[in-house]
Amino acid sequence: MNCLVDTNVFLEILLNQGGRKKCETYLQGEKGAASITDFTLHSIGVLLFRQKRPELFDKFAADTLPQFTILSLSKAGYSRLAEVNTRHGLDFDDAYQFAVARENNLAHRHPGQGLPARSEPGGCSSAVKARRKIF
């Protein structure tokens, strides 16, 4: 089954945060198809450009884009974001990820509470297809 990998999995690695090793192991060890959202790609770009690290974004994009399917929220999905916020108490970025995962019948994997965690029902025994070390 396919999974949607959360922005924070990549940020842990890119920003060399405490969960970096766990996220690297997760990306390298899981098998199966994986996706990211356009929102993830844009968020990482905005953050790295603000930090004056555009070269790191270039490397991220070069290493990541061939490995992942990039998904966007449908036009109809935008009208459901407020409901996702109200029902699940999610901020915009998490509501967007949740809505994309739901539209595409994907499990949503993020680094919180012992990676990989599922915030979207549907199961996912194999989450990420990353055959080489990213970054």
CATH number of the domain enclosing 17:
3.40.50.1010
pLDDT tens column, 52-69: 999 999 999 999 899 899
Q: Where are the beta strands (DSSP E) in the chain?
A: 3-5, 34-37, 69-71, 107-110, 117-118
Residue 4: pLDDT over 70: yes
Q: Per the domain annotation, does 75 fall within a domain? A: yes
3-state secondary structure of 31: coil
**Region 8-28: what's the mean pLDDT?**
92
Q: How confident is the model at residue 110 (pLDDT cuts 50, 70, 90)?
A: low
Residue 72: pLDDT over 50: yes
Q: Per the domain annotation, does 18 fall within a domain? A: yes
pLDDT for 130 equals 28
DSSP code, position 54: H
Per the structure, the complete domain to which residue 38 belongs is given by: 3-118
Tell me how far apart the alpha carbons of residues 124 and 118 are, in angstroms, rounded to a whole number: 8
Tokens at residue 73, please?
């929220």
pLDDT for 30 equals 65
